Chain A
């Protein structure tokens, strides 16, 4: 038995134990299927998982393991078929589209692999976009803190196409952090970056959990990226099959390799 299976479900999902640890995101019995009959794919098979607050969690797994589906459902971008997703005390599955949209605006941040920014407006406007869509003022001090942390002071007036790939991702991170959401989701946030720039962005994300207490959940297939996380969740065939605490490139690679067997 691989070593990491020993830590599987170190936390139990019963309601009595839930309050003991402070979770930012939790699911119960989450299911999602695509297609019908012969093309039927069970993307999520009754997933029960909880993500601790102020931690950086990476979700990994081979193609088709359901990691992206899980993240999209958790982020309220896609609808699950059954179960519960609790963020900020609310079950996402019981919300209508407008409520879900407000949820995304206020409680959830995003960093996508590419096409993160609206091309017609400059960096600062992109960072402020979720707040301005909600018609809300931003907190100047917090804005300064985030900008300073991400080193974007000189780039605020640039349009996205005038920024490098790394700078674009940093703007996206700044945008995600600015609303102080319950959770920030990253969908391969460094997938399009070279390794040095990628490392820079990942360090920034990790320090935001350490220094700002931000919860981050990231989907990646890159063991190097995953090694920046506090915890790695492993998925296969729509189920969580393991976790790795304090992951390193080596442990993650080994775990992935054995998953593929």
Chain B
């Protein structure tokens, strides 16, 4: 049967293009996921391995080796020196870090200082300019930070150690910047071992000792191990440098494994959708080949031979498509990494890594998925009676027996899942709700044959109105309910998930915004902690900010420290005298800029924020003030200017600040610009400007990024489903060649025929998207409810515009999907069409 199967593929190659495309995309997704994982590992290996470059062995403390120690032991200079003297050791260096601050004329930088080997043999230091540090007051620094600080070789800089003791030090060289994600937050500096030891003082300890050996590494390893054994340092492990890198990567990639798991879930969704497309394609192709297969039966083919012929076709297609998919993934990733290298030179350590497993697994999964999906239609083909070859074949509609088992099973899953989902939503238990979603969605999909065709038929009828061609399209769309269900389900899965996360995300955003508004009673606050502005200057700046677009009001405050006596401290549940930060404000202006009028102090009142004081009054200085409590978060306790004056505080440290109220209609995305503008005006770093809108915009941005990523991942599934719509339609058109030609003979224009097919595609695609959206909105709201209800009051919000966009995209894509089949159908002359079988 092999040659029959192969010649079938050859003959009907066009019918398989779409299914090959769908399987290839699904497999590519899986392959890319696995390759992302292995490439991340390789990239980390590149960068984590930097320190161990050139080393043969690494000695480090592994607390697991000694049951009595729980903390990592570190090495001293003494041990490094001892190891150097061991036979077979040519070089040994401690890897240790001391921290300090470097000052240039206008800025300070955190530096991580490590001892460096002047011969550059060990430790990962790589000089790019100048020379290695030799004497006590010499240092090298990494290239990119040097550039940042405006330092060049020969400059003298001030360096503070951790105790704040300063020394002047000369920069004698520049080293290559680190790509190690664990260290790249600091400027990297290197000193000679002795200088470093002085600088680090008591902290002059090493985490690892890197060793270069001579001759047999085993012997050297033994030698070093023996040395530590003699010193009773049981927790010291001595391993090869390669082994150490592998261990470090494994330790660090706990996180990327999770990423891989998440990506795998999306790949799985894409594969399920692909499977539906495959089932559909094979069902249609076999239905069209009924006569041919039956003829084979007449000529003596056994049932099993028919089945294996179909499965063989699936196998060939699976192999071809999976290989294409994997190649596609590898090419895509290689391209992305090349792009990264070209655009971000500092990411030069990013490496592409493809493991044999990462190549073989997607291919096997792709093949298995195709064959398993095709086995259902293959079984149906096997049951064909030989006589079917002789029967004329023009039934109007196919009755698909919806498997009663599937319906019952689906109903049970759906009922159970929905119950759990609602329980989870009511109780605010995300895990229960998630489980409910996991059960109910497949359950609902199993029941799809009950509601998808009837929805398509109903909406089709309503949409058709009096137009004959649209009415025919509506009838055609549900001609084979099983096929329509499978096609629509594939799309429905993607759309449900996309709209679910959209609704969930939007609701999360709205709810977080509300809880932020409750906690942060101000939009923005700028504080001049460092005394860069006095009160008069602050007022002037506040006026300026008031003129900025998007700002509705500003006022100033003065933050003052008040000393409370021990008794009051005790009242607050604290020992001894307590300092209370007061915000002295002009109540009238203050009330115009804050969101929560609860925090506006009346004369003689103090507003205590954030904790439970529990008493009606508080004594500050000689005065007793009325207490007003709120749960809002504020950096101090608001008090009216006039009230503050009556307190008679002495020697109080005061700094001013500005409160900014932002126009309500300023979009979240504009907040950053506003912050930058205010930062420019005031000279206060933008990271020091905080408040409700800043938090809101941060939350919104995080949620938006997550939504974008998840939507992009799900888009793959939607894309595959749309290929499925095009596929089903083009196969149906082939099946209905005669009928379409009859319609053309009876007076259907080419345009009408094309629009009839477009209507059919739009009905299937649009109704699938609509049903998916309804499901997605329900899942999104229930999910958000169960995830967020603990945080307080929920604000339900449905992103109508985005949902309409999803619907519109589905409809447009369905229209596009109908173009090719429509053209082909219109091109055929009625005579040719009527002559076909």
User: Which residues of A approach B to under 8 Å, CB–CB?
Assistant: 72, 75, 77-79, 97-98, 101-102, 104-106, 110, 112, 114-121, 129-130, 132-135, 159-161, 175
CA distance A161 to B396 in the complex (A): 7
Quick check: B747 and A118 within 8 Å, CB to CB?
no
Q: Which residues does chain B contribute within 8 Å of A114, judged by CB atoms?
A: 392
Quick check: A120 and B479 within 8 Å, CB to CB?
yes
Q: What 7 pairs between A and B have smallest CB-CB spacing?
A: A105-B747, A119-B396, A120-B475, A132-B468, A78-B831, A77-B830, A101-B749
Quick check: B743 and A77 within 8 Å, CB to CB?
no
Q: Give, as a whole number of angstroms, the nearest-CB distance from A226 to chain B.
A: 22
- Given that A72-B831, A77-B829, A78-B831 are contacting pairs, would A101 and B479 also be in contact in the complex, using a CB cutoff of 8 Å? no
For chains A and B in complex, what number of residue pairs have CB atoms within 8 angstroms?
A: 81
Q: Give, as a whole number of angstroms, the nearest-CB distance from A136 to chain B.
A: 10
18 A-B Cβ contacts within 8 A?
A: A75-B745, A102-B747, A105-B747, A114-B392, A115-B738, A118-B472, A118-B743, A119-B394, A119-B395, A119-B397, A120-B397, A120-B475, A121-B475, A129-B747, A130-B746, A133-B747, A133-B752, A175-B746
Q: Which residues does chain B contribute within 8 Å of A117, judged by CB atoms?
A: 742
- Would you give the 0/1 interface string for B333-347, flagging 1 where the beta carbon is closer than 8 Å to chain A? 000000000000000
Q: Which residues does chain B contribute within 8 Å of A135, judged by CB atoms?
A: 468
Residue B748 is within 8 A (CB to CB) of chain A in the complex? yes
Quick check: A97 and B750 within 8 Å, CB to CB?
yes
Quick check: A129 and B831 within 8 Å, CB to CB?
no
Q: Which residues does chain B contribute within 8 Å of A118, judged by CB atoms?
A: 472, 739, 742-743
CA distance A102 to B747 in the complex (A): 6
CA distance A116 to B741 in the complex (A): 10
Choose from B475, B738, B745 the contact partner of A110 (Cβ within 8 Å).
Answer: B745
CA distance A99 to B481 in the complex (A): 36
CA distance A56 to B749 in the complex (A): 29
Residue B134 is within 8 A (CB to CB) of chain A in the complex? no
Q: Which residues does chain A contribute within 8 Å of B745, judged by CB atoms?
A: 75, 77, 104, 110, 112
- Scoring A105, A115, A120, A175 by chain B CB atoms within 10 A of each residue's CB, the highest score goes to A120
CA distance A72 to B392 in the complex (A): 24
CA distance A78 to B396 in the complex (A): 27
- Chain B interface helix/strand/loop/mixed: helix
Q: Give, as a whole number of angstroms, the nearest-CB distance from A59 to chain B.
A: 16
Chain A residue nearest to B394 (CB atoms) is A115
- Given that A105-B746, A115-B739, A115-B742 are contacting pairs, would A78 and B834 also be in contact in the complex, using a CB cutoff of 8 Å? no
- Scoring B392, B395, B468, B479 by chain A CB atoms within 10 A of each residue's CB, the highest score goes to B468
Choose from A72, A101, A106, A121 the contact partner of B748 (Cβ within 8 Å).
Answer: A101
- What 8 new A-B contacts, CB under 8 Å, besides A106-B747, A119-B395, A160-B396? A72-B831, A98-B749, A105-B746, A118-B742, A120-B396, A120-B472, A133-B752, A161-B396
CA distance A115 to B834 in the complex (A): 9
Q: Which residues does chain B contribute within 8 Å of A101, judged by CB atoms?
A: 744, 747-750
Chain B residue nearest to A75 (CB atoms) is B745
User: Which residues of B approach A to under 8 Å, CB–CB?
Assistant: 392, 394-397, 468-469, 471-472, 475-476, 479, 738-739, 742-752, 829-831, 834
CA distance A104 to B468 in the complex (A): 17
Q: Which residues does chain B contribute within 8 Å of A97, judged by CB atoms?
A: 749-750
Q: Give, as a whole number of angstroms, the nearest-CB distance from B757 to chain A.
A: 14
Quick check: A120 and B476 within 8 Å, CB to CB?
yes
Q: Which residues does chain A contribute within 8 Å of B751, judged by CB atoms?
A: 98
CA distance A100 to B423 in the complex (A): 65
Q: Which residues does chain B contribute within 8 Å of A105, judged by CB atoms?
A: 746-747
Chain B residue nearest to A101 (CB atoms) is B749
CA distance A142 to B574 in the complex (A): 103
CA distance A175 to B745 in the complex (A): 12
Chain A residue nearest to B396 (CB atoms) is A119
Q: Which residues does chain A contribute within 8 Å of B395, judged by CB atoms?
A: 119, 161
Q: Which residues does chain A contribute within 8 Å of B738, judged by CB atoms?
A: 115
Chain A residue nearest to B753 (CB atoms) is A101
Q: Which residues does chain B contribute within 8 Å of A104, judged by CB atoms?
A: 745-747
Q: Which residues does chain A contribute within 8 Å of B472, judged by CB atoms?
A: 118, 120-121
Q: Give, as a whole number of angstroms, the nearest-CB distance from B637 to chain A.
A: 77
CA distance A88 to B174 in the complex (A): 95
Quick check: A110 and B750 within 8 Å, CB to CB?
no
Choose from A79, A106, A119, A134 the contact partner of B739 (Cβ within 8 Å).
Answer: A119
Chain B residue nearest to A120 (CB atoms) is B475
CA distance A117 to B395 in the complex (A): 11
Quick check: A112 and B834 within 8 Å, CB to CB?
yes
Chain B residue nearest to A106 (CB atoms) is B747
Chain A residue nearest to B746 (CB atoms) is A130
Quick check: A133 and B476 within 8 Å, CB to CB?
no
CA distance A102 to B752 in the complex (A): 12
CA distance A79 to B392 in the complex (A): 29
Chain A residue nearest to B744 (CB atoms) is A101
Chain A residue nearest to B830 (CB atoms) is A77
CA distance A97 to B471 in the complex (A): 23
Q: Which residues does chain A contribute within 8 Å of B830, judged by CB atoms?
A: 77-78
Chain B residue nearest to A103 (CB atoms) is B747
Q: Which residues does chain A contribute within 8 Å of B829, judged by CB atoms?
A: 77-79
CA distance A130 to B829 in the complex (A): 18
Choose from B475, B476, B743, B750 the contact partner of A98 (Cβ within 8 Å).
Answer: B750
CA distance A101 to B753 in the complex (A): 12
Quick check: A116 and B747 within 8 Å, CB to CB?
no
Q: Which residues does chain A contribute within 8 Å of B831, judged by CB atoms?
A: 72, 77-78
CA distance A178 to B739 in the complex (A): 20
Q: Which residues does chain A contribute within 8 Å of B746, judged by CB atoms?
A: 104-105, 110, 129-130, 133, 175
Quick check: B748 and A133 within 8 Å, CB to CB?
yes
Chain A residue nearest to B826 (CB atoms) is A97
CA distance A130 to B830 in the complex (A): 15
Q: Give, as a whole number of angstroms, the nearest-CB distance from A80 to chain B.
A: 12
CA distance A101 to B747 in the complex (A): 5
Q: Give, as a whole number of angstroms, the nearest-CB distance from A157 to chain B.
A: 14
Q: Which residues does chain A contribute within 8 Å of B739, judged by CB atoms?
A: 115, 118-119
Q: Which residues does chain B contribute within 8 Å of A75, judged by CB atoms?
A: 745
Q: Which residues does chain A contribute within 8 Å of B749, judged by CB atoms?
A: 97-98, 101-102
Quick check: B468 and A159 within 8 Å, CB to CB?
no
Chain A residue nearest to B475 (CB atoms) is A120
CA distance A132 to B752 in the complex (A): 12
Chain B residue nearest to A78 (CB atoms) is B831
Q: Which residues does chain A contribute within 8 Å of B744, judged by CB atoms?
A: 101
Q: Give, as a whole number of angstroms, the nearest-CB distance from B682 to chain A.
A: 71
- Scoring A75, A119, A121 by chain B CB atoms within 10 A of each residue's CB, the highest score goes to A119
Q: Which residues does chain B contribute within 8 Å of A130, judged by CB atoms?
A: 746-747
Q: Which residues does chain A contribute within 8 Å of B396, judged by CB atoms?
A: 119-120, 159-161
Q: Give, as a whole number of angstroms, the nearest-CB distance from A129 to chain B.
A: 6
Q: Which residues does chain A contribute within 8 Å of B394, judged by CB atoms?
A: 115, 119
Q: Which residues does chain B contribute within 8 Å of A102, judged by CB atoms?
A: 747, 749
Q: Which residues does chain A contribute within 8 Å of B834, judged by CB atoms?
A: 77, 112, 115
